């Protein structure tokens, strides 16, 4: 079954032809997806440093990661963890799309890798060196390892991509917004292929302390896998995480010329600002609802066309309630019939990479007609009373999926992906 979209004129169609990921539950996209569908948590006690003394001692770390084998080991040591995550996810994405960047196509291939923080870990390490041993003993590669644009820069450099290049830094909306902006780049003809998503690796003492003093983290240290509890009445905060996900987006014309496999179509993209508070969401959810409506309008869809929502769902008391209110504003009574799940229940909150990972999950849900569960949802909350897919995965044909990303500072970014039906917009509107 296909959906009837309003005529979008001559707007270029953008499709997803590849993907890659590094997460707390898998070192590639398919392993991550299998474990998410099985309801496996990646949250453990922090191993990258000793978290003793902090009220929260847990995170969703990427375990067993080694730098991509195509990198010279010496060069890899000059890169920060979030750069390496981005390179690995890009390598996977290009391979799954069957794309090789060559002298002939390099000018038409672009990159946007979003991040919320950049390399906070490098910042922490080199500040310790400066204060303990003096500034001239710092790593000479400190600046290029730290800068937030360097994940994008390294991807372009390592793979020879000479097209449109940018970095989105909108905190926890960065990954989703990067994909939305990349789709717009293709629509306006500034690129034929874009690699887009997010990368984050800020599980370090400075990051943990920062969130602890904000009282934003779960303190359920005695049972880490149960700590991230989106929409549950007993939720007590988010769980920090790391990881990356990159999608290959292409104009439909480019994908067809290559004979590429198309996993999904980017139907809509909406952005708004709460204009309210630096860390808290607008309680009534109106800012988030505005972004959802804009994404629907951009897609030419009605709320009734959306079969599934991948929520921002962080596990914070205020955030989950505000998102639930926003969904109700947009979907009305249908809100109670649309499955809503939270990927963060298993992999924590990967900040600038979160929206990209969740966009990937939305694409794979469309591909496999399957929705992963929201784990740890045990006690209903009157303020969060939708269908959060508790306990186990659910089989469901999906025509269109909405992916929500909301952030500190009130940034809201919403993506809508659809099942690719192969028809032209003209045939839809004339049919």
H or E stretch including 295? helix 286-299
Contact call for residues 121 and 229 (beta carbons, < 8 A)? no
Q: Which is the catalytic residue, given 349, 372, 384, 411?
A: 349
β-sheet bridge partners, residue 112 = 166, 196
> What is the pTM (predicted TM-score) of this model?
0.95
Q: What is the pLDDT of residue 428?
A: 38
Q: Which is the catalytic residue, given 172, 204, 212, 384?
A: 172
Does the annotation count 349 as an active-site position?
Answer: yes
Q: What is the pLDDT of residue 424?
A: 41
CATH of domain 14-419: 3.40.47.10
Q: What is the pLDDT of residue 8?
A: 59
Within 22-148, residue ranges assigned H as helices are: 29-37, 73-76, 81-97, 120-133, 142-146
d(CA 60, CA 242): 7
In terms of Cβ atoms closer than 10 Å to its own Cβ (0-12, 13-18, 19+), residue 66 is: exposed
> Coil, strand or helix: which one is 139?
coil
CA geometry: angle 410, 416, 419, nearest 5 deg: 165
Token pair, residue 48, equals: 């990258």
Q: What is the pLDDT of residue 421?
A: 85
What secondary structure letter does DSSP report for 26?
Answer: B
Does the annotation count 261 as an active-site position?
Answer: no
Torsion of CA 35, 369, 12, 359, to 10 degrees: -30
Q: What is the pLDDT of residue 4?
A: 58
- Return the domain boundaries, the chain: 14-419
Q: How far are the Cα atoms of 214, 218, 280, 345 from residue 315, in angstroms, in the given order?
A: 15, 8, 13, 8
Instruction: Please report, in tens digits, the pLDDT of each residue of the chain (431 residues total).
Output: 456 555 556 789 999 999 999 999 999 999 999 999 999 999 999 999 999 999 999 999 999 999 999 999 999 999 999 999 999 999 999 999 999 999 999 999 999 999 999 999 998 998 999 999 999 998 999 898 889 999 999 999 999 999 999 999 999 999 999 999 999 999 999 999 999 999 999 999 999 999 999 999 999 999 999 999 999 999 999 999 999 999 999 999 999 999 999 999 999 999 999 999 999 999 999 999 999 999 999 999 999 999 999 999 999 999 999 999 999 999 999 999 999 999 999 999 999 999 999 999 999 999 999 999 999 999 999 999 999 999 999 999 999 999 999 999 999 999 999 999 875 433 333 33
Q: What is the pLDDT of residue 314?
A: 98
Q: Which is the catalytic residue, given 312, 372, 384, 411?
A: 312
């Amino acid at each position: 079954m296909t959906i009837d979209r309003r005529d979008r004129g001559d707007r270029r169609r953008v499709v997803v032809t590849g993907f890659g990921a590094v997460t707390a539950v898998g070192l590639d996209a398919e392993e991550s997806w299998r474990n998410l569908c099985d309801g496996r948590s990646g949250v453990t006690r922090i191993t990258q440093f000793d978290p003793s003394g902090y009220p929260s001692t847990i995170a969703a770390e990427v375990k067993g990661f080694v730098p991509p084998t195509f990198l010279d080991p010496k060069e890899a040591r000059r890169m920060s963890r979030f750069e390496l995550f981005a390179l690995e996810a890009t390598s996977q994405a290009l391979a799954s799309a069957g794309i090789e960047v060559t002298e002939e196509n390099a000018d038409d291939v672009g990159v946007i890798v979003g991040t919320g923080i950049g390399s906070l870990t490098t910042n922490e390490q080199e500040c310790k060196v400066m204060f303990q041993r003096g500034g001239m003993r710092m790593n000479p590669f400190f600046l290029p390892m730290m800068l937030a644009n360097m994940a994008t820069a390294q991807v372009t450099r390592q793979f020879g991509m000479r097209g449109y290049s940018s970095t989105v830094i909108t905190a926890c909306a960065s990954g989703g917004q990067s994909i939305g902006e990349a789709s717009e780049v293709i629509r306006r003809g500034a690129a034929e292929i874009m690699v887009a998503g997010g990368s984050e690796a800020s599980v370090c003492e400075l990051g943990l302390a920062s969130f602890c003093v904000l009282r934003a983290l779960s303190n359920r240290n005695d049972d880490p896998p149960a700590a991230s509890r989106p929409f549950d009445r007993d939720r007590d905060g988010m769980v920090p995480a790391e990881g990356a996900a990159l999608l290959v987006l292409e104009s439909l014309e480019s994908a067809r010329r290559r004979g590429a496999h198309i996993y999904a179509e980017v139907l809509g993209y909406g952005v708004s600002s709460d204009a309210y508070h630096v860390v808290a969401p607008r309680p009534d959810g109106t800012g988030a609802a505005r972004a959802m409506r804009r994404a629907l309008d951009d897609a030419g869809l009605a709320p009734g066309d959306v079969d599934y929502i991948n929520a921002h769902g962080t596990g914070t008391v205020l955030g989950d309630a505000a998102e639930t209110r926003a969904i109700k504003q947009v979907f009305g009574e249908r809100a109670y019939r649309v499955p809503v799940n939270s990927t963060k229940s298993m992999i924590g909150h990967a900040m600038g990479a979160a929206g990209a990972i969740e966009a990937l999950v939305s694409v794979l849900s469309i591909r496999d007609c399957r929705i992963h569960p929201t784990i740890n949802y045990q006690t209903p909350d009157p303020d969060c009373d939708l269908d959060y897919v508790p306990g186990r995965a659910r089989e469901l044909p999906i025509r269109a999926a909405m992916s929500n990303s909301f952030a500190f500072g009130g940034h809201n970014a919403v993506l809508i992906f659809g099942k690719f039906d192969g028809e032209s917009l003209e045939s839809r509107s004339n049919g």
